[in-house]
């Protein structure tokens, strides 16, 4: 007689005797207590996309989209000379002379000396200047010329034009071009028709159960892609990926490991927010801090007295925690996605400068009955076509190296 594997089921073989034990009763006769609900271990993983979809959803009608950002005006540069300059040198090499013009007034912020720009050589980044231009020897007012060191900061104040003058040389910058692609994310699920029809003790029908489960998985996939995806077009496969937030934040990074040995203190957080709030959107003032529960716990230890719960109206319908700092308010949004290599990081984001861009009406949709016509079963899927637009990257900050 063949042997059958019943996967551990208690197949009753019969046993006489008294008293009768549960082990003597066929498992199919026993009224076993089976929970009617199936519990889902759902990580708190999608605060970013939840906020973005509520407040910053801007449809797009092409799979590639372009935008232009104008950077902040520049008025600082630094001396670029290992030996520095004496108080009599008039040809001064700097890191960037492109935004200076003849007749500009410049101040050495360390010494206080005012310099008058006679001419500019942008090719060699050299300013020809009149030294101590604000010093009046007759009255002893102003600041006399003084030696300048390498890396001294020079600040362009303005220009100073003579009476009945012609307009000075112009200076203007062009906006920088950015682009991203639309990515298609599909999460299918299926079942045989027999499995769908057969009654279940636990949970609803397989279709209803999977629709709930897969909608959660699909939303988490969108969140991960929106944060860490990389823009790419595979022409040979007709496939596009959208670049996430991290890819567009290229200059505004703060490393706590280098700055303070990995220790996040209240003073260190103020330094971080000083960088994070230096630039902000016109309607900004509050930024979202996405981070791990570990880092959020560290912040809570030294700032618990300044953390308050927001109302739904303040944060796009969600109740979150707000931390007030001297530089600006942070909405704290810990997420389970910040784990392993991301456990020691945080993103401080100006949500007014980030957009979720669904393509062609293909925001997340549940498509039903996509199986083959002759299949004795069913197949559904969630599909989303979307891209991310990140504007003015200096309004966002990535913090790394938080060890304790």
Give me the percent of the chain exceeding a pLDDT of 70.
86
Answer yes or no: do 387 and 255 share one domain.
yes
Render pLDDT for 105-153 as a digit per residue (tens, 0 to 9).
999 999 999 999 999 999 999 999 999 999 999 999 999 999 999 999 9
Tell whether the torsion through CA atoms of 45, 392, 256 and 244 is positive or negative: positive
Render pLDDT for 363-401 as a digit per residue (tens, 0 to 9).
899 999 999 999 999 999 999 999 999 999 999 999 999
Residue 172 has pLDDT above 80, yes or no: yes
Residue 245 has pLDDT above 60, yes or no: yes
Pairwise CA distance, residues 116 & 107, whole Å:
9
Render pLDDT for 27-83 as a digit per residue (tens, 0 to 9).
555 555 555 555 555 556 688 888 888 778 899 999 999 999 888 788 999 999 999
What CATH number should be reported for the domain holding residue 382?
3.90.1690
The reported pLDDT for the residue numbered 360 is 86
How confident is the model over 202-223, as a mean pLDDT?
Answer: 87
Query: Which pair of tokens denotes residue 162?
Result: 């003579």
Answer yes or no: do 310 and 189 share one domain.
yes
Answer yes or no: do 307 and 255 share one domain.
yes
Answer yes or no: do 150 and 202 share one domain.
no
Question: Which of 16-20, 47-51, 159-163 has maximum average pLDDT?
Answer: 159-163
Answer yes or no: do 354 and 293 share one domain.
yes
Pairwise CA distance, residues 116 & 211, whole Å:
71
* Better-predicted residue by pLDDT, 57 or 347: 347
Quick check: is 223 in a domain? yes
Quick check: is 274 in a domain? yes
Which residue, of 129, 159, 189, is where some domain finishes?
159
How confident is the model over 248-260, as a mean pLDDT?
Answer: 94
How confident is the model over 233-260, as a mean pLDDT?
Answer: 95
Pairwise CA distance, residues 226 & 218, whole Å:
12
Answer yes or no: do 194 and 145 share one domain.
no
pLDDT-derived band at 1 (thresholds 50, 70, 90) equals very low
pLDDT-derived band at 291 (thresholds 50, 70, 90) equals very high
Answer yes or no: do 190 and 315 share one domain.
yes
The reported pLDDT for the residue numbered 12 is 52
In angstroms, the Cα distances linking 14 to 8, 33, 332 are 17, 23, 62
List Cβ neighbours of 131 (8 Å cut-off, separation of 6 or more): 87, 88, 89, 90, 113, 115, 145
In angstroms, the Cα distances linking 380 to 206, 351, 365 are 12, 33, 10
Give me the percent of the chain exceeding a pLDDT of 90.
65
Query: Which pair of tokens denotes residue 389?
Result: 């637009």
Structurally, how many domains does the chain consist of?
2
Quick check: is 389 in a domain? yes
Domain that holds residue 133: 76-159
Which residue, of 159, 190, 221, is where some domain finishes?
159
């Amino acid at each position: 007689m063949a042997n059958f594997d019943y996967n551990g089921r208690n197949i009753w073989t019969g046993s006489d005797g008294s008293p009768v034990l549960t082990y003597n009763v066929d498992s199919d006769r026993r009224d076993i207590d089976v929970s009617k609900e199936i519990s889902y271990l759902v990580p708190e993983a999608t605060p970013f996309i939840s906020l973005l979809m509520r407040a910053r959803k801007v449809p797009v009608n092409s799979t590639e989209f372009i935008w232009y950002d104008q950077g902040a005006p520049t008025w600082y540069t630094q001396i670029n000379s290992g030996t520095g300059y004496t108080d009599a040198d008039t040809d001064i090499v700097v890191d960037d002379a492109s935004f200076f013009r003849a007749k500009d007034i410049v101040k050495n912020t360390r010494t206080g000396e005012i310099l008058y720009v006679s001419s500019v050589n942008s090719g060699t980044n050299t300013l020809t200047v009149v030294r101590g231009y604000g010093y009046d020897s007759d009255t002893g007012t102003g600041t006399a010329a003084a030696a300048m060191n390498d890396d001294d900061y020079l600040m362009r104040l303005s220009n100073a034009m003579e009476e009945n003058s012609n307009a000075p040389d112009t200076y203007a910058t062009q906006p920088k071009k950015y682009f991203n692609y639309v990515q298609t994310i599909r999460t299918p699920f299926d079942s045989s028709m027999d499995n769908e029809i057969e009654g279940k003790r636990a949970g609803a029908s397989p279709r209803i159960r999977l629709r709930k489960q897969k909608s959660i998985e699909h939303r988490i996939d969108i969140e991960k892609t929106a944060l860490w995806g990389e823009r790419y077009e595979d022409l040979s496969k007709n496939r596009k990926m959208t670049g996430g937030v991290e890819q567009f934040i290229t200059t505004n990074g703060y490393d706590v490991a280098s700055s303070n040995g990995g220790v996040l203190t209240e003073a260190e957080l103020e330094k971080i927010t000083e960088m994070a709030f230096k630039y902000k959107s016109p309607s900004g003032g509050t930024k979202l801090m996405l981070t791990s529960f570990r880092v959020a716990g560290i912040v809570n230890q030294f700032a618990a007295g300044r953390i308050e719960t927001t109302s739904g109206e303040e944060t796009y319908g969600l109740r979150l925690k707000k931390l007030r700092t001297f530089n600006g308010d942070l909405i704290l949004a810990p997420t389970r996605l910040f784990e392993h290599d991301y456990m020691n990081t945080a993103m401080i984001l100006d949500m007014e400068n980030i957009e979720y861009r669904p393509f062609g009406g293909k925001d997340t949709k549940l498509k039903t009955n996509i199986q083959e016509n002759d299949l004795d079963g069913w197949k559904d899927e969630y599909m989303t076509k979307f891209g991310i637009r990140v504007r003015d990257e200096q309004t966002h900050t990535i913090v790394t190296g938080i060890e304790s």
